[in-house]
Structure 1
């Protein structure tokens, strides 16, 4: 039984590592694409002082192939990577039946989501 839990823990740790690597690689790729678009076009695609800051505006800008929106999408993906890691960690602690760390990690996730909502509304 203990060996099974250790194996599952190692598997979850490997998944967390892959999530972090893939998240950073995808985010960096999107940022590099946005930067290349910016250098080729010579403009961010928005008037001076204007830029997308809400997810819907970022997605609209990405669909319209605006370089600044693509850069913002890359940064948004980079921010989401550790949040996804927290979600997977909650799953790992539930699987290990570690209630204390499940609650602590859930509190961290609630704080992260609250901060994102405050940032979105502010």
Structure 2
């Protein structure tokens, strides 16, 4: 077995573990946030007849979630878990990019860079109104 193939298998194992542990971590964070939320708001009745749209940009949302999670607010902890869940495949694509660079597989470097660009554009345009 050559050293290159061994490194490739190591990267595949790391990527697999990233996906596995990323999902479990995000679910655990969201579950803990759900418990915190229920402990603090179990008697409240939510009004679902009115939809409240949020027109903040992504940086304001992340800042509000971060500050709320630091303060121990359940809804912010749940949202942190959701953000972690969304970031897990993004980290997988970034790790794949580094793997392709090390393997000198430039076609896949270009394709992965395009995918990363699409993700960045989707996030940017998805949160701007």
TM-score bin (small chain): 0.7 to 0.9
* 1:40 matched residue in structure 2: 39
Query: Does structure 1 residue 58 correspond to structure 2 residue 57?
Result: no
Query: Does structure 1 residue 13 correspond to structure 2 residue 12?
Result: yes
The alignment yields a C-alpha RMSD, in angstroms, of: 2.2
Aligned-residue offset at 1:68 = 0.8
Counterpart CA distance in 2 for 1:66 and 1:119 is 25
Counterpart CA distance in 1 for 2:62 and 2:127 is 9
* 2:97 matched residue in structure 1: 90
Aligned-residue offset at 1:4 = 1.5
Question: What per-residue deviation string (whole Å, max 9, x for no partner) do you get for residues 50-109 of structure 1?
Answer: 889710010011112111111111000000000000000001111111111110011101
Show structure 2 runs of 5+ residues with no match. Answer: none
- List, as ranges, runs of 4+ consecutive aligned residues in structure 1 with deviation greater than 6 Å: 50-53
Q: SS of 2:2's equivalent?
A: helix
2:110 aligned to which of 103, 109, 119: 103
TM-score (norm 2): 0.82
Counterpart CA distance in 2 for 1:21 and 1:4 is 26
Q: SS of 1:113's equivalent?
A: helix
Q: Which has the higher contact order (CA 8 A, sep 6+)?
A: 2
